[in-house]
């Protein structure tokens, strides 16, 4: 079966893969990439094999969708694998809101999208879908935060704003800084450029305070990322023997047991600063969050022993 899609102002979304992800919401993302790689996608009757191909308004996109009976890979999503998006009431702390966008203070432990299985908490996008029906806007994610990372998260209130902000973040015209508590002492700035998954990954570390507690050294870092790879901060820090406190994936069990026993029940990683041009006015806007109360309480129980020169 061939599905033909005309690109217009309301459905245009920059990159080919993201456009197809939105238009073919019944298809797995991995299958969309497979279709593109195999040449099963045409734009204006020409095969396109690059997921980041820039789709333009007025283009015609054709997708060959193989029948299940033809022995092809099953490409439709299994609803038991991912829960459907259902609007659900959820209190979402706001840092800022105007007619174009919302800046949330996402709590740690709150997922942005539904994941595996149906028995899970309401997600950010489901909470936004619930309130947006009453308030008359359409929410779009501009960037992402891991489930266990707290802090600043930008939501566009229209697809037009989402396109502008999406390009801003994609072209690295937004500054993103994080606060992280790590195991170990570091007293100098460090730039990490170790590739992740064979892709460029750039992370800059600036130590703020080195702490001591019960014979251990801990460091509060300000981190700026220039790329957006999966778990980039956590992976880079772990590779350099500076695991994030409370990291169940990349820190060792003994460290995690130690921090939990001393009151830290979550990942010590917070999106603390964002700066970018406003999508409507072009004026630079910036948002800052102090450390959340639980992270600050953990540090208050430690002894600051060094403040590296900045």
Q: 33 in helix, strand or coil?
A: helix
> pLDDT tier at 69 (50, 70, 90 boundaries)?
very low
Cα 214 → chain centroid = 35
Q: How far apart are CA 146 and CA 165, in angstroms?
A: 19
Structure confidence at residue 110 (pLDDT): 93
Q: What is the DSSP string of 201-252?
A: --EEEEEEEEEEETTEEEEEEEEEESS--TTHHHHHHHHTT-PBTT-TTTS-
Q: Indicate if the pLDDT at residue 267 is higher than 90.
A: yes
Structure confidence at residue 74 (pLDDT): 35
Which domains does the chain show, CATH number per domain?
2-66 (3.10.290.10), 94-170 (3.30.2350.10), 175-306 (3.30.2350.10)
**Mean pLDDT of the region 214-228:** 94
Detail the DSSP E strand segments found in the chain: 2-6, 41-43, 46-47, 60-64, 94-97, 101-106, 140-141, 150-156, 175-183, 190-192, 203-213, 216-225, 269-277, 284-288, 303-306
Q: Which of 10-14, 117-121, 148-152, 204-208 has the lowest mean pLDDT?
A: 117-121
Digit-coded pLDDT (tens) for 22-63: 888 778 777 888 899 888 999 998 999 998 898 888 889 999
> pLDDT tier at 67 (50, 70, 90 boundaries)?
low
Beta-sheet pairing, 150-156 with 269-277: parallel
φ, ψ of residue 216 in degrees (nearest 5): -105, 150
What residues are annotated to the active site?
146
Q: How far apart are CA 161 and CA 180, in angstroms?
A: 30
Q: How far apart are CA 278 and CA 281, in angstroms?
A: 5
Query: Which of 227, 269, 263 has its CA nearest to residue 249?
Result: 269
Name beta bridge partners: 76: 27
Q: pLDDT higher for 107 or 171?
A: 107
CA distances from 96 to 143, 161, 197 (A): 16, 16, 35
> Do residues 191 and 225 make contact, with C-beta atoms less than 8 angstroms apart?
no
Q: How far apart are CA 127 and CA 135, in angstroms?
A: 12
Q: How far apart are CA 207 and CA 307, in angstroms?
A: 8
Digit-coded pLDDT (tens) for 76-86: 443 344 457 78
Beta-sheet pairing, 101-106 with 140-141: unpaired
Q: Indicate if the pLDDT at residue 71 is higher than 60.
A: no
Digit-coded pLDDT (tens) for 76-128: 443 344 457 788 899 999 999 999 999 999 999 999 887 644 456 889 999 99
What's the whole-number average pLDDT of the chain? 88
Structure confidence at residue 309 (pLDDT): 57
Q: Indicate if the pLDDT at residue 7 is higher than 50.
A: yes
**Mean pLDDT of the region 4-29:** 82
Question: 10 Å Cβ neighbour count for 155?
Answer: 25
Please state, for a pLDDT cut of 70, what percent of the chain lies above it.
91
Q: Indicate if the pLDDT at residue 218 is higher than 90.
A: yes
Structure confidence at residue 72 (pLDDT): 34
Query: Which of 97, 93, 99, 94 has its CA nearest to residue 137?
Result: 99
Q: How far apart are CA 62 and CA 44, in angstroms?
A: 8
**Mean pLDDT of the region 263-282:** 97
Q: Indicate if the pLDDT at residue 177 is higher than 90.
A: yes
Structure confidence at residue 235 (pLDDT): 96
Structure confidence at residue 118 (pLDDT): 45
Q: pLDDT higher for 307 or 135?
A: 135
Structure confidence at residue 167 (pLDDT): 87
Q: How far apart are CA 163 and CA 238, in angstroms?
A: 34
Q: How far apart are CA 40 and CA 32, in angstroms?
A: 10
């Amino acid at each position: 079966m061939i599905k033909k899609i005309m690109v217009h102002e309301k459905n245009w979304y920059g990159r080919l893969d993201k456009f197809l992800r939105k238009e073919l919401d019944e298809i797995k993302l991995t299958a969309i990439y497979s279709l593109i790689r195999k040449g099963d996608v045409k734009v204006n009757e020409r095969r396109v094999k690059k997921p980041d191909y820039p789709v333009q308004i007025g283009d015609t996109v054709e997708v060959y969708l193989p029948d299940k009976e033809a022995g092809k890979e099953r490409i439709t999503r299994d609803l038991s694998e991912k829960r459907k998006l259902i609007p659900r009431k959820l209190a979402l702390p706001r840092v800022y809101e105007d007619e174009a966008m919302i800046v949330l203070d996402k709590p740690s432990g709150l997922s942005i999208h539904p994941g595996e299985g149906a028995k899970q908490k309401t997600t950010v996008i489901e909470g936004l879908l619930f309130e947006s029906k009453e308030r008359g806007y359409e929410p779009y994610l501009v960037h992402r935060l891991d489930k266990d990372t707290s802090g600043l998260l930008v939501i566009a209130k229209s697809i037009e704003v989402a396109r502008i902000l999406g390009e801003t973040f994609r072209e690295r015209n937004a500054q993103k800084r994080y606060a992280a508590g790590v195991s170990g002492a570091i007293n100098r700035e460090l730039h990490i450029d170790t590739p992740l998954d064979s892709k460029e990954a750039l992370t800059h570390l600036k130590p703020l305070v080195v702490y001591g507690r019960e014979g251990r050294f801990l460091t509060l870092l300000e981190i700026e990322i220039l790329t957006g790879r999966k778990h980039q901060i956590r992976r880079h820090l772990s590779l350099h023997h500076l695991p994030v406190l409370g990291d169940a994936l990349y820190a060792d069990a003994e460290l995690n047991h130690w921090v939990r026993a001393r009151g830290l029940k979550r990942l010590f990683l917070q999106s603390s600063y964002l700066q970018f041009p406003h999508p409507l006015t072009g004026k630079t806007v910036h948002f800052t969050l102090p450390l959340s109360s639980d992270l600050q309480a953990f540090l208050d129980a430690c002894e600051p022993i060094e403040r590296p020169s900045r």
